[in-house]
Amino acid sequence: MIWDPFYECMDVEQRAELKVRRLRETVARLSVNVPWYRDRLSENSVEAGDISSLDDLQHLPFTTKEDLRDNYPFGLFAIPPDECVRIHASSGTTGKPVIAGYASEDISIWAQTIARTIACGGGNSHDVLHNAYGYGLFTGGLGLHYGGELMGCLVVPVSGGNTERQLMLMEDLGSSILCCTPSYALTIVDEAEEIGFDLGRINLKSGLFGAEPWSEGAREAIEERLGISAHDIYGLTEIIGPGVAAECEAKAGLHIFDDHFVPEIIDPDTGETLPPGERGELVFTCITKRAFPLLRFRTRDITKLDFEPCECGRTQPRMERVTGRTDDMLIIRGVNLFPSQIEEVLLKIEEVEPHYQLVLTREGRLDQLEVQVEVSPGMFSDQVRQLEAIEEKIRERISSAVGIRVDVKLVEPKTIERFAGKAKRVIDNREEA
Ligand code: DLL
What residues contact 188, with CB distance under 8 A and at least 6 apart?
132, 163, 166, 167, 178, 180
Give the mean pLDDT of 218-247: 97
* pLDDT confidence of residue 316: 98
Residue nearest to atom 10 of ligand 1 (CA): 90
* pLDDT confidence of residue 382: 66
Q: 395: closest CA among 360, 366, 371?
A: 371
Contact assessment for residue 261 and residue 285, using Cβ atoms and an 8 Å cutoff: yes
The alpha carbon of 43 and the centre of ligand 1 are apart by a number of angstroms equal to 32
Digit-coded pLDDT (tens) for 8-19: 999 999 999 999
- Check: CATH 3.30.300.30 for 330-432? yes
Task: Establish whether residue 121 lines the binding site of ligand 1, counting it when its CB lies within 6 angstroms of any ligand atom.
Answer: no
CATH code of the domain occupying 1-327: 3.40.50.12780
Which residue would you say has higher pLDDT here, 177 or 379? 177
Task: Establish whether residue 281 lines the binding site of ligand 1, counting it when its CB lies within 6 angstroms of any ligand atom.
Answer: no
Task: Establish whether residue 343 lines the binding site of ligand 1, counting it when its CB lies within 6 angstroms of any ligand atom.
Answer: no
The alpha carbon of 233 and the centre of ligand 1 are apart by a number of angstroms equal to 8
Task: Establish whether residue 235 lines the binding site of ligand 1, counting it when its CB lies within 6 angstroms of any ligand atom.
Answer: yes
* pLDDT confidence of residue 433: 43
Task: Establish whether residue 242 lines the binding site of ligand 1, counting it when its CB lies within 6 angstroms of any ligand atom.
Answer: yes
Task: Establish whether residue 215 lines the binding site of ligand 1, counting it when its CB lies within 6 angstroms of any ligand atom.
Answer: no
Q: How confident is the model at residue 71 (pLDDT cuts 50, 70, 90)?
A: very high
Burial category of 234 from C-beta neighbours within 10 Å (exposed 0-12, middle 13-18, buried 19 and up): buried
* pLDDT confidence of residue 118: 99
Which residue would you say has higher pLDDT here, 364 or 246? 246
Contact assessment for residue 159 and residue 286, using Cβ atoms and an 8 Å cutoff: no
Digit-coded pLDDT (tens) for 403-424: 989 999 999 999 999 999 999 9
Query: Residue type at 422?
Result: K
Q: How confident is the model at residue 381 (pLDDT cuts 50, 70, 90)?
A: low
Digit-coded pLDDT (tens) for 102-158: 999 999 999 999 999 999 999 999 999 999 999 999 999 999 999 999 999 999 999
* pLDDT higher than threshold 70 for residue 432: no
* pLDDT higher than threshold 90 for residue 282: yes
* pLDDT confidence of residue 327: 86
Which residue would you say has higher pLDDT here, 225 or 331? 225
The alpha carbon of 301 and the centre of ligand 1 are apart by a number of angstroms equal to 9
Give the mean pLDDT of 29-54: 97
Digit-coded pLDDT (tens) for 178-216: 999 999 999 999 999 999 999 999 999 999 999 999 999
pTM for this predicted structure: 0.95
* pLDDT confidence of residue 379: 77
**Percentage of the chain exceeding pLDDT 70:** 98
Query: Residue type at 58?
Result: Q
* pLDDT confidence of residue 95: 74
Q: Residue 119: how many CB atoms within 10 A of its CB?
A: 20
- Which residue ranges make up each domain of the chain? 1-327, 330-432
Backbone angles phi and psi of 228, in degrees to 5: -130, 175
Sort strands 366-375 and 407-411 into parallel, antiparallel or unpaired.
parallel
